[in-house]
Amino acid sequence: MNLSYRNPSLLNLYYRLPKFAREVFAALYSLKARNRRFGKAFHDQMRLLQENEKLPRAERDRRQVSDLKATLRYAYEHVPYYRSLFDQSGFRADALESLADLRKIPVLERETVRSKNAELHSTAFTGPKFSHRTSGTTGTTLGFTLSEEANQRHYGCVWHHYGWVGMRRGDRLATFGGHPLAHPDRQKPPFWLYDAVENELYFSVQHISPKNAPYYIEQLLRFKPVVVRGIPSFLNLIAQYMIDGGVTYKPRGVFTYSETLLDRQRRALEQAFECTAYNFYSNGERTGHVLQCGHGRLHVLTETGVIEILRADGSPAAAGEVGELVMTNMINRAMPLIRYRIGDTGILAREEQCPCGRETPILESLTGRTNDFVVTEDGRRIRPVGVFMGTPMVKAAQFVQEQAGSVVVKIVPREGFGADDRRKVAEEMDAELGHSIRYQIEIVDELPFGANGKLQHIISKIPS
């Protein structure tokens, strides 16, 4: 279940439906999404990852280089952008012998994906595909095309991970994601929606507050999920309320995604849920997958892509040294992204052996999005993921919050940004935040960089 953010008026209509109708809607949507997620490639991927679990490292590396070579050859033959790039830089896919040879290809920036979007599409791909948008850490959105196969393989990675705790599809799953489930101004439960097709209970993350927390906890205990998953900053809130109320509940595992799982959040999750918290890293572009095991190590899947960690000068960072993630996608033939700078940072582990026996590259840490929410007057934390989704004329944006209940939205416009675009942003703000936050839109020429040299999507002066 995942309702589109791109149509605020449809969203408002949906919010007004009675609970039963919304559940029917969720089930129908889920049936439709099933084809995009759980078809043949999903099962193929699950099988592949299962077979490869105990693959010796040398064999794993050999297969990755071979898959990479096939991807690069395909890109040269069928993707106009790469044909001219490889020709200009003298790169030949057939000459690739190791992952290090990949560095002969220039890094792909998000801005290039935007400006040369059409040239990055394969001219030969005829399979099922769909267009997709991601929100970057800078608040801008990026459109790209995803093959259904890549999407299914992505979900194969997700469910392979859940399989590490014995979770199977159809088992009860509780999700605290960014799904718009109830009107932001809603004051009474339900703040959740049950999807009968997937046996999944979706909780709204925008309504968690001191007043509403007991309803959430009661519903969670009643549902008895086998796995609890969600965005760590929101799961952490629930965990805090559980700890304060002296409540625990023990699923087989807690899985987090979409944001960095901070150590203090992990401790709270593991205390409230009395089990291990597993971090999962991927992105909307599906350019790579990192799965945390029960020993706390971050295993990089070599079946879906290549993850490089680079210094500012483009040279590879040493183990233990922080660098930028540059990712190559090996599963999306509709639009292969090669050496794509995703905007996140990571550190390669010094120690590559893990007691779990999986011989993959291991990351010591991974830093993506953190602390991404604004706070309403009544203490709810909202992550405004849907804002700017339908406004490509916004070049960069930032929420600045000095006090709960009000926020300044700073926008760097692209050339041609007009009154219509401004109205669209306002509509998106209303659909996502309701009347819980006063906001003011400010058009600016540029945004200040954070201490880490990156743009922050949300700058909050409110302690988390």
CB of 279 to Zn ion, least distance (A): 12
Q: Enumerate binding residues for Zn ion (CB under 5 A).
A: 293, 295, 297, 354, 356
CB of 175 to Zn ion, least distance (A): 25
CB of 351 to Zn ion, least distance (A): 11
Which residues on adjacent β-strands are paired with residue 206? none
Nearer to Zn ion, 358 or 424 (CB): 358
Pick the closer one to Zn ion by CB: 57 or 83: 57
- Minimum CB separation of residue 356 from Zn ion in Å reads 3
Minimum CB–partner distance for residue 360 and Zn ion (Å): 8
Instruction: Give whichever of 40 and 295 is closer to Zn ion, judged by the CB atom.
Output: 295
CA distance 202 to 194: 6
Q: 54 or 188, CB closer to Zn ion?
A: 54
The encoded tokens of residue 302 equal 């070599």
- Give the nearer residue to Zn ion in terms of CB position, either 102 or 167: 167
Q: Which is nearer to Zn ion, 41 or 293 (CB)?
A: 293
Cα 30 to Cα 214, 325, 365, 452: the distances in Å are 28, 33, 34, 39
Q: Which residue, 109 or 351, has its beta carbon nearer to Zn ion?
A: 351
Distances (CA, A) of 382 to 205, 233, 259, 297, 338: 7, 10, 14, 30, 33
Shortest reach from residue 248's CB to Zn ion, in Å: 26
Cβ 294 to Zn ion, closest distance in Å? 7
Residue 276 vs 456, nearer CB to Zn ion: 276
Backbone angles phi, psi at 134, to 5 degrees: -120, 155
Closest separation in Å from C-beta 282 to Zn ion: 18
Instruction: Name, in order, each residue with C-beta under 8 angstroms of 305's C-beta and a sequence gap of 6 or more.
Output: 287, 288, 289, 327, 328, 329, 330, 331
Q: How far is the CB of 350 from Zn ion (least distance, A)?
A: 15
Nearer to Zn ion, 224 or 295 (CB): 295
